[in-house]
Amino acid sequence: MRIEDGELILEPGEVPIRPGIFTRQPGDPVPHLLGRKCQDCGDVSFPPYRRCLLCGSDKETVEVVLGNGAVLLGYTVARQVMPGFVPGYILGKVRLKDDPSLVVTAQLVDVKEENVEVGMDLVMVPRVIRELPTGEKVVSYCFRPADSARVSAGQGGESP
Ligand SMILES: [Zn+2]
């Protein structure tokens, strides 16, 4: 994978974890996640839903580019050997700053375990997270520390 002018470009043999979740924001050099927003109550969903599950509005939700900021709510270190994964990666429970109800589970990258702290600010980055038995590499949304003092490049995931 590579990033050109904020657009995530996959190499042959790479697949996104879900289609249509990465997008670009004009003027921003890094990719963003694409969510959907309810036209009635304003609730934002990610992964994106076409219908609002919160208020049950009958209007279709609309696409919204999410900010990349997030906060770490909790984490666990995955030490089991899972097919296609490199053991020892850190799995975070992460709250996106766009909407307090948006909580996702994703790998933390570019950080050593001793520098992980609940409550720390994170930034979304796309990374290869695993390899399928077919040899395809799965690109997903990961998070790295916003504070460069906590960053150790090359920890978890595969650097672009
Ligand atoms: Zn709604």
The pTM of this model reads 0.91
CA distance 32 to 141: 9
Dump pLDDT digits (tens) for 64-115: 999 999 999 999 998 887 777 778 889 999 999 988 889 999 999 999 999 9
* Token code pair at residue 99: 């909407």
Ligand 1 centroid vs 39 CA: distance in angstroms? 7
- Find the largest Cα–Cα distance for the chain: 47
The DSSP line for 43-69 is -EESS--SS-TTT--SSPPEEEEPPSE
Ligand 1 centroid vs 61 CA: distance in angstroms? 8
Ligand 1 centroid vs 98 CA: distance in angstroms? 15
* Token code pair at residue 49: 């839903």
